[in-house]
Amino acid sequence: MPDTYSLISPAPTTNMQPGSPLILGIMASGSGSNFEAVAIAIENGDLHAKVAVLIHNKPDIQAIDRAQKRGIPTVFLDHLNYATRAELDRAIVATFQTYQVECVVMAGWMRVITQVLIDAFPDRLINIHPSLLPSFPGIHAIEQALAAKVKITGCTVHLVSLEVDAGPILVQAAVPVLPNDTSETLHARVQIQEHLILPQAIELLAQKINTDRISL
């Protein structure tokens, strides 16, 4: 078993049968290319999961088109309509519960989340970040890497904790920084790796959750 398994605590009680696909809820704020990579991995049989719903907090983003193309329901929760971060998270949790989501993927979700979301999906809430954490957490990770003149950066999929971009790491990929890189060229190469490791990390979790279903 990979070492990463030891970082994941036992699954909460689930009604899902052993062998059934992991029910995913996705959160996105932008283009949704990582969300689409997950959907493609499922279609290709590389990931035993199903995307039940996409939640987005911005209108008119490309992620919506990518979902609609695949018949995946979308729910718009505008963060401007909620007085606090916790209130937004309660609405997110309620939506995911409606869709019987077992595992949540923050795929380019650009809001700080609260304990409300973490408590609803203990060790079943993951995030993708465009750096080799713990380097360059927070916003503008690509620009931070360029400013620091590192020779190698990359991307990380990790379990979410209250501290931003700091939870246990599931999978990482390294990407060389080239001499003439701009934030656009570097981000494009980082995203190629993101699209590989995000489905891999979810499959790790899916296998762990399925093992827990069998032992329940």
Residue, CB closest to ligand GAR: 108
Query: Helix crossing, 33-43 with 183-215: angle to 10°?
Result: 50
CB-CB contact of 212 with 15 (8 Å): no
- Contact between 38 and ligand GAR per CB under 6 A: no
- Contact between 73 and ligand GAR per CB under 6 A: no
Among 141, 145, 186, 197, binds ligand GAR (CB under 6 A): 141
- Contact between 194 and ligand GAR per CB under 6 A: yes
- Contact between 201 and ligand GAR per CB under 6 A: no
Among 27, 105, 121, 130, binds ligand GAR (CB under 6 A): 130
Measured distance CA(207)–CA(194) in Å, rounded? 20
- Contact between 33 and ligand GAR per CB under 6 A: yes
Residue 56 annotated in active site: no
Among 14, 20, 31, 161, binds ligand GAR (CB under 6 A): 31
Q: Which of 48, 56, 79, 129 is catalytic?
A: 129
Measured distance CA(134)–CA(14) in Å, rounded? 32
> Residue 6 carries which DSSP code?
G
Applying CB under 6 A, the span of 29-37, 39-47, 75-83, 84-92 interacting with ligand GAR comes to: 29-37
- Contact between 129 and ligand GAR per CB under 6 A: yes
Q: Which residues contact 148 (CB under 8 A, 6 or more apart)?
A: 135, 136
Residue type, 85: R
Nearest 10 degrees: CA dihedral of 54, 58, 62, 66? Answer: 10
Q: Phi, psi at residue 56, to the nearest 5°?
A: -130, 150
Q: Please list the active-site residues.
A: 129
Q: Which residues bind ligand GAR (CB under 6 A)?
A: 28, 30-34, 107-108, 128-130, 141, 191, 194
